[in-house]
């Protein structure tokens, strides 16, 4: 009886999860369907979930309406550079917080992590004034410098470092390995799930960032994909089929990155909070 009851509960649970998943995926499915329709059929009454006539031409037209390829290149440039810098700085800063002892270590770490709770809108204006006085406004370098460090990344990777036995680093020190060598040869290889998690978070945040590029970038040749989509919506607000096609194309890099690192991401999320 207990086995049958447990199986019945699992069936109900899985059924509810499947229904919730389908509800969550409905907007995405509608976006995919709309990207293959003509402009007149997107809001047709009654609504058709599947296009009556597949219009693949939408995916070729979006590249000629605005310089979408240029916006993609700019977003890739910023996302890759900032992600690499965040992984490097976070993993390097997390090492002393996790495996080295120095006066005030925990207090400094607490103050550093506490900055996560400060909304960006609080220091947005002083930051802009600083960047303008440095003559970096309307450059990609301004966005790169502002996002090269992340307190969340330090916290995430520090948690992964705490899960690595201290005996490994102590044995390496006895064998004559330097602190940098311990970081490079022991900590980094054993914290791949956390690093993969940070890569996904950093890349997605930079790729989807709208406010930062909107404030600091004015030239069309420097704009990112999010600004490009906004420009597309402004110029072709009636062509929802083209808008949906452009939005769908913009999701491909993020989706591909997540699928390629899904195993590490799930493992990193599951283990990052075990040590405190």
- Exposed, middle or buried, 163 (CB in 10 Å: 0-12/13-18/19+)? middle
CATH number for the domain whose boundaries are 58-271: 1.10.3720.10
Task: Please state the φ and ψ torsions of residue 138, each to the nearest 5 degrees.
Answer: 60, 40
pLDDT of residue 275: 45
User: What is the Cα–Cα distance from 20 to 42, expressed in whole angstroms?
Assistant: 25
Domain assignments of the chain as residue spans, ordered by start: 58-271
Tell whether the model's pLDDT for residue 121 goes beyond 50: yes
What is Dmax (Cα atoms) for the chain? 75
Confidence band of 276 (pLDDT split at 50, 70, 90): very low
pLDDT surpasses 60 at 127: yes
Asked if 207 and 225 count as a contact pair (C-beta separation under 8 A), the reply is: yes
Report the Cα 182 to chain-centroid distance in Å: 28
Bigger pLDDT: 272 or 26?
A: 26
* Residue closest to 215 by CA, chosen among 153, 123, 90: 123
Mean pLDDT within 172-183: 86
Q: What is the pLDDT of residue 274?
A: 45
CB 83 within 8 A of CB 234: no
pLDDT at 266: 67
216, 145 contact by CB (below 8 A): no
User: The tokens of 211 are what?
Assistant: 């406010």
What are the helix and strand counts (H, E) for the chain? 15, 0
Predicted pLDDT of residue 89: 94
Mean pLDDT of 196-223: 91
What whole-number distance in Å separates Cα of residue 174 and Cα of residue 176?
5
How far apart CA 190 and CA 193 sit, in angstroms, is: 8
Q: Report which DSSP code applies to 48.
A: -
How many Å apart are CA 90 and CA 108, to the nearest integer?
Answer: 15
Confidence class for position 20, pLDDT limits 50, 70, 90? very high
Residue 273 has pLDDT above 60, yes or no: no
Average pLDDT over residues 220-245: 85
Q: Six-digit token pair at 89?
A: 């700085």
With contact defined as beta carbons under 8 Å apart, do 271 and 193 qualify? yes
What is the share, in percent, of the chain residues with pLDDT greater than 90?
Answer: 30
pLDDT of 269 > 60? The answer is no
pLDDT higher than threshold 80 for residue 272: no
- pLDDT by residue (tens digit) across 46-104? 777 788 788 888 888 888 888 889 999 999 999 999 999 999 999 999 999 988 888 88
Q: Which two tokens stand for residue 41?
A: 């059929």
The DSSP code for 265 is: H
Distance between CA 3 and CA 73 in Å, rounded? Answer: 56
State the chain's mean pLDDT as an integer: 86
Looking at the chain, the whole-number percentage of residues with pLDDT higher than 70 is 94
> What pLDDT does residue 74 have?
95
What local confidence, expressed as pLDDT, does residue 60 receive? Answer: 86
């Amino acid at each position: 009886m207990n086995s049958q009851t447990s199986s019945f509960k699992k069936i109900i649970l899985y059924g509810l999860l499947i229904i919730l998943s389908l509800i969550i995926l409905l907007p995405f499915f509608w976006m995919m369907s709309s990207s293959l329709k003509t402009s007149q059929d997107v809001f047709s009454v009654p609504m058709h979930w599947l296009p009556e006539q597949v219009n693949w031409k939408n995916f070729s037209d979006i590249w000629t309406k605005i310089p979408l390829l240029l916006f993609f290149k700019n977003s890739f440039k910023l996302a890759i550079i900032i992600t690499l810098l965040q992984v490097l700085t976070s993993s390097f800063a997390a090492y002393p917080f996790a495996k080295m002892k120095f006066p005030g270590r925990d207090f400094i770490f607490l103050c550093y992590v506490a900055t996560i709770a400060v909304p960006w809108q609080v220091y947005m204006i002083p930051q802009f004034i600083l960047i303008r006085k440095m003559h970096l406004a309307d450059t990609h370098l301004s966005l790169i410098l502002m996002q090269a460090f992340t307190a969340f990344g330090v916290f995430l990777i520090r948690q992964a470092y705490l899960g690595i036995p201290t005996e490994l680093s102590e044995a390496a020190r006895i064998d004559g390995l330097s602190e940098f060598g311990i970081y490079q040869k022991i900590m980094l290889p054993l914290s791949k799930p956390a690093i993969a998690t940070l890569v996904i978070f950093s890349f997605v945040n930079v790729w989807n960032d709208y406010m930062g590029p909107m404030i600091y970038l004015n030239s069309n040749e420097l704009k990112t994909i999010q600004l490009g989509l906004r420009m597309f919506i402004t110029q072709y607000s009636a062509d929802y089929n083209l808008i949906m096609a452009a939005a769908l194309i913009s999701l491909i890099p993020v989706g591909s990155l997540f699928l390629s690192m899904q195993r590490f991401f799930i493992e990193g999320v599951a283990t990052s909070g075990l040590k405190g």
